Structure 1
């Protein structure tokens, strides 16, 4: 593993946070969200800030940007940008500074970009607010930065709206907006979490390339230790609002001092596939020559057809997990939605426990619904915010004739199974963390005693330790109830840990299909090899680290 080995001792300090404390001033005792943290970033350096959800990573970035919510206040400390303390600045002064000297890339560009403005106009707007450049010069500079972030067909994309671009292209637009004025500091808050591995690799390479060209200091917030191994110069580890450890990346990954850092590293799933479960004989789901075609219609002219899924075929037996992997746009989620009948397939058969559900009407499909449940990526969007957890969990069983008493009894039992207290049933979704909400979403799906569970990117937004817990939970539930799982993911490490078999999709077609150990351990197709090569930190053996750390921990003091 070749880490970055750059020395920044003589480089100018771009940002220095000293004893930074953020508190809840209107709460008794003024509990602290950040507890006197110190962070230093030098010009041209990439500092990764890592930790579990709730550790204070994003609060740190928002404090630097002067974007803390009203409920949070900086109680103490300094934030020096090239020697200038930002904390005494007014909001007007901070608006002048943002984008010009410090810029930020958010995790989800679709929510950060204005959906009704062309992306070229949004890049030009940054220059309009912070420079005196004329219209033609702003347009020229906007297109130049778009070329620097390697966007294809710049003239077309310049005129496009955000929804007309892919996720990777939208993230490149965000990077272009952030760097067009060559700021001193770039803050990237989980900018690659929702991207597939090849797009993720491109974005990471792009940030590194532009950093070296412009000498920008980068604060990169992430929960992906593979990304840390790939891009970091220095790593700061956060826990409960405190910096518990910081060191150059190689030192921290090879010789972490703190038990918490050991825990984070040990939670990273390995690229080495797990031992497969014994092949079952009871087929619960069989997909035969499944096709989904978009387009081809049109009133004035015939539109071109797009094969989102083309002749997809597989079988799934009880108690086994089938992974479907591939880039964005490969057809993974299309197949999942067809299986769930959230969209109608164009042709093919979907055999669920011997019944073809591919063309059933909504009424005829209803008896089969309980056998087929889904867990989505974002549980906050799939749980009703106005309902208690109990209401969400018992809704399905009540609809299929279960008594309220029996449904509540099962809900209480499943709370224990997914590791949540029984009184969680009386609370609302916003009162839980992201990992807890995903546990609740899984419990809701299992309430129906399904034969097949479709998990569509169910752990991609979770930090590594919570991700490991949710994967272990799925494994436990699978063994207890004999559920078959279709697991959609772009994370090959996750696929290696939970899947017995793997399908690799590219442009709607299955290019490779077989046992996880064969597909991920000795891929036959060039596209599969490219996906594995693109996995961040692929050369760093976290599994080997786990064995070493367990051995070291077993040594007598």
Structure 2
């Protein structure tokens, strides 16, 4: 792997942080959230801040932006200076001006950062209206020009669109346009590509790099994805428990990490080498999908149209103890197939046979007794677990509904907590009292409580940091070995698919373009679309576990770091 050698010693220092301490508001004696952070970022430099969830990455960015939640966190010591202006001493009005002209931020989830009732063009213009004296015509012209710079298609149409009418990648481009329209000196990007598929992720990373080179912007990039770090970083700071435990240029960090924690993070990164195929415990398929079609919309009483074909002629089978992965870009039809199998939506055509019963055409009342045979784990466990229920109630609900006595269900719930490496005495807690990785373990335990034949995991690890992700993947492996459950694993991360899937099915625009053993599809893809997905995977040219570069037969064009 060839690294760009960039020297920033002569560049102007944009951000200076010294001995920054952030703690709980009004509790100076409590354990600090950030303890003695030192950081420097120079013009044109990309500085990546990495670490597990709870390490303090996002708190650092919020402190720099002056956006720490009031009555919860406060700066208790240290210095934050942006081009000589001390942020920790700035007034609210000064910070508003700084946030527009000197510093800007891209958040992880643009749908929560954008106003859902305003057109996106108006939201970009709002920045100019508040901080410039441009006329309305000049404002619109500059807005459209910025939208073109971030490579949005058909800018006149998108200018008039609402956030929900855009894809995830397009919404993130709108956020980038808003952040960069006043040419800030520092751009903070907080996990801006975590929920995006690999091709959209690559486009966003290239866009940030392109805008940075054009404007000389300093970038503080917060991420838990070491693959992304390998692609874009000049310098890396590793955070653990509110402290920076290692800082190094990207070449040194990847080839010669010094701290055990850094080595642990790197070794947890999955690679694209497919797992060895596992033999099925029986030749009988536990799930069979034949000719599955799903069309949204279509002809109605007042209109005639073909509708949107979200899935067309999907066919596959899964045997007990095996995992089939469905991969593809956003909008490819992956989750539509999963929801059809779960009967969360009704397929337009086709057959879905689970444990010997054809369920695709069953009515809701007829389907109810069969639901215990197939369970799903969603991407966000916080949204799928009832926040008002204790963990015990969430785990017991399904078995009790199917006739298990309450005492027996409670005893089984305690066993399940041990199965997913959580303490039995946590049964009386609520979802908000757990970390993201722990909540996902609870969601898995809830699914396993029904003793299903098929487990559907829909992006179940995409929002987790790499070490927790590795733990959850190991847990799913262990559950398969113990119970022989068949798994349908939906993911946009090919590295995750390589670690857990026996077979891989690739979807593009609702069509299956490639299907076969993981070793064949990921190591020797036949379809151009599959090859493009693999080439777009961040950090694919790096063997993180062994701290070395890989020799690739087909290196990505212009993919040096």
TM-score, structure 2 normalization? 0.96
SS of residue paired to 2:367: helix
Q: Is the CA contact (8 Å cut-off) linking 2:543 and 2:549 kept in structure 1?
A: no
User: What is aligned with 2:305?
Assistant: 303
Q: Deviations over 1:313-368 (max 9, x none)?
A: 00000000000000000000000000000000000000011111001111100111
CA offset at residue 264 of structure 1? 0.1
SS of residue paired to 1:10: coil
Q: Deviations over 1:126-149 (max 9, x none)?
A: 111111111111100000000000
Structure 1's 422 and 495: CA in aligned 2 closer, same or farther, altered over 3 A?
Answer: same
Matched ranges for 1:322-471 at <5 A:
322-471=324-473
User: What is aligned with 1:554?
Assistant: none
Structure 2 runs not aligned, ≥5 long: 551-561
Separation of aligned partners in 2, 1:295 and 1:352: 27
The aligned length equals 548
Matched ranges for 1:5-404 at <5 A:
5-27=5-27, 29-70=29-70, 71-279=72-280, 280-404=282-406
SS of residue paired to 2:89: coil
Separation of aligned partners in 2, 1:172 and 1:73: 31
Q: Deviations over 1:450-488 (max 9, x none)?
A: 000000000000000000000000000110111111000
CA offset at residue 547 of structure 1? 13
Structure 1's 496 and 305: CA in aligned 2 closer, same or farther, altered over 3 A?
Answer: same
Q: Stretches of 4+ moved more than 4 A in 1?
A: none
Q: Deviations over 1:277-309 (max 9, x none)?
A: 113412110000000011222454323421100
User: What is aligned with 1:555?
Assistant: none
Is residue 501 of structure 1 aligned with residue 503 of structure 2? yes
Separation of aligned partners in 2, 1:26 and 1:431: 22
Q: Deviations over 1:355-397 (max 9, x none)?
A: 1100111110011101100000000000000110001100000
SS of residue paired to 1:52: coil
Separation of aligned partners in 2, 1:326 and 1:430: 32
Measured on the aligned residues, the alpha-carbon RMSD in Å equals: 1.3
CA offset at residue 256 of structure 1? 0.3
User: What is aligned with 1:553?
Assistant: none
SS of residue paired to 1:170: helix
CA offset at residue 91 of structure 1? 1.4
CA offset at residue 26 of structure 1? 3.4
TM-score, structure 1 normalization? 0.97
Q: Is the CA contact (8 Å cut-off) linking 2:255 and 2:548 kept in structure 1?
A: no
Q: Deviations over 1:219-270 (max 9, x none)?
A: 0000000000000000000000000000000100100000000000000011
Separation of aligned partners in 2, 1:26 and 1:407: 44
Separation of aligned partners in 1, 2:312 and 2:300: 22
SS of residue paired to 1:342: coil
Structure 1 runs not aligned, ≥5 long: 549-557
Separation of aligned partners in 1, 2:52 and 2:2: 26
Separation of aligned partners in 2, 1:374 and 1:546: 37
Separation of aligned partners in 2, 1:493 and 1:418: 23
SS of residue paired to 2:286: strand
Is residue 519 of structure 1 aligned with residue 521 of structure 2? yes
